Structure 1
């Protein structure tokens, strides 16, 4: 179970009391957490049973950035986007600090939303996700805060440089050559003048809750930042339109995702023209973090590193000029 901070029942009951959301009934650690510790809580408030997600933020999350992430959720929820609201404690704060054996850590209590994450998306689900992403892009246009993308092109260059030629070659014999070919192309051609705004930047199927073809929740906004809106489309495309291992591209999912997005926010001609390159960048972004983790995660770590070659295969697909037409005319 990926719960890195241990909290007893009395600790969690005190947190529930501080947020004034009733009386604690149950708390269950969530095994799917990767970067943070998470629990599903049930409380009783009057005659109503309520559910929440309690998150304790571990070392990868900067406490100073929490107001951006949590205020963004409230901003989007207030505008009708399918995102969870944050609970505020009796002092009006969206997060609190607690003492742990490893020192002070921040925590937040977030609304529980119904739905499941799909492993084999349908065309209808891809279309709905595209529309939900566009809704977020429009709704965040007047969000007053900004956050730089901490995993932008210079970060990919740094991570892959830290992996080194030999390290990349140890993952796959052809990987170093692929990276050394692509990074200069991205650096020379990366667009600067496209529309920007707040993006999710990590909208994989496991960060979307669905009931049938309806999106009930977009979650895990902890990579959200201010960047190119079309880049977010490219990230989501790379996440949704391939088999997990990157060996199979699904043209129907691709068309539905773009169609859904444009039903809410049409892409400009410049954005559409940039999508093939932005998709190459999206593939490199996840290739870089996965390759770094593959080479640097201790063998006894709680989390198993993900295969970087799944995104190397996506990168090869996007880099083939014969595939530029998948994003439409």
Structure 2
């Protein structure tokens, strides 16, 4: 989230008036994130988040918005897009695609403990099951084809040893993707970006309850295992070293498996998908750092973090197991 497109109070007031959410009372830009323009919107009827989409097209966006609606209607705590009088949930503001969703309660947990990881693991599995009958299909737009397209663009900015690492890992993931074992992995709609800052909790310290997942605008059809790997690489690691924290990972995996048990192939390929998750975010952070877009409050993330994570996953393959298998 960031602010690339400035909007005025009057423009947003006119916009929300078409969505039956009351009159605008406050508007505040959101500085976190790097993809879209986002504002907190307060009205006489509640709290909302307004998103103007800077990269995704009108043709791509129905997948994300209808997925959020689908999950919300099946009891998964995610923001639900607000529709107009014609039941349209994709709108337009300042010439950009736009959506208004309800604001989740609570705050981020940036230093997760076991009970946070347990709740995220369980809710991720519930989300995967709830999405199985979602009728729309769109690939993960930040998957292997995007890595193959983007790595040559960022190579000139890398040191020789970094170039070797990223090219060798890209070749490894390309080979994995055509294997029979990979093609047989269970798949469906995934979040693909479920970091600590995309989950909300509420409650007293040590007793917080999960109140929702948000920012589904990297979602797509992919393996459930990739979604699990992205989570493990953020929720269950030591951020300074990139090393996995086995105790947190065991709780996460056990909670997930209470809802949707992993297949034997998923267990076998998890170390490779943990590498894939690290590569994906190293590539995207390199791209955002070296080829930035102008935006108010834009704060690109440090790509070196996921370089460290990738090196750690290669040097020491990680096999997180649920508590029952530990």
Instruction: Compute the TM-score of the two structures, normalised by the length of structure 1.
Output: 0.89
Structure 2 CA distance for aligned equivalents of residues 182 and 218 of structure 1:
30
- Rounded Cα–Cα distance in structure 2 between residues aligned with 1:11 and 1:289: 32
CA deviations on 1:129-176 (whole Å, 9 max, x unpaired) are 011111110000000000112111232122112222x4221xxx5322
- Structure 1 residue aligned with 2:84: 89
Partner of 1:163: 154
Q: Which residue of 1 aligns with 2:199?
A: 208
Correspondence for 2:2: 2
Unmatched runs of 5 consecutive residues or more in structure 1: none
In structure 1, what is the equivalent of residue 121 of structure 2? 130
**Number of positions where the alignment pairs a residue of Structure 1 with one of Structure 2:** 315
1:228 matched to 2:211? The reply is no
State whether residues 168 and 291 of structure 1, in contact with CA within 8 Å, keep that contact through their aligned partners in structure 2: no
In structure 2, the residue matched to 1:257 is 252
SS of match in other structure, 1:63: coil
1:23 aligns to what?
A: 23
Does residue 52 (structure 1) correspond to residue 64 (structure 2)? The answer is no
Q: Does 1:306 align with 2:301?
A: yes
Contact map agreement 2:3 2:297 (CA 8 A) in 1: no
Alpha-carbon offset, residue 325 of structure 1: 3.1
- Deviation for aligned residue 1:72: 0.7
Mean CA deviation greater in 132-141 or 175-184: 175-184
Change (3 A) 1:280 1:327: farther
Q: 1:33: Cα distance to partner?
A: 4.2
**How far 1:301 sits from its partner (Å)?**
7.7
Q: Using the alignment, how far apart are the partners of 1:9 and 1:298 within structure 2?
A: 24
Rounded to whole Å, the distance in 2 between the matches of 1:152 and 1:67 is: 19
Q: 2 CA distance for matches of 1:257 and 1:234?
A: 11
Structure 1 outlier segments of 4+, above 6 Å: 298-301
Which structure is richer in relative contact order (CA contacts within 8 A, separation 6 or more)?
2
Higher mean displacement: 280-289 or 23-32: 23-32
Partner residue in 2 for 1:71: 66
TM-score when normalising by structure 2? 0.90
CA deviation vs aligned residue, 1:76-114 (integer Å, no higher than 9, x gap): 01111011111101222102113x3xxx11211101110
The RMSD of aligned alpha carbons is 2.0
Separation in structure 1 between the aligned mates of residue 20 and residue 173 of structure 2, nearest angstrom: 49
Give the Cα–Cα distance (whole angstroms) in 1 for the partners of residues 167 and 6 of structure 2: 43
In structure 2, list runs of 5 or more residues that go unmatched: none
* Cα drift, residue 258 of structure 1: 0.9
**Kindly tell me: are residues 215 and 43 of structure 1, through their superposed partners in 2, closer, same or farther at Cα, counting changes over 3 Å?**
same
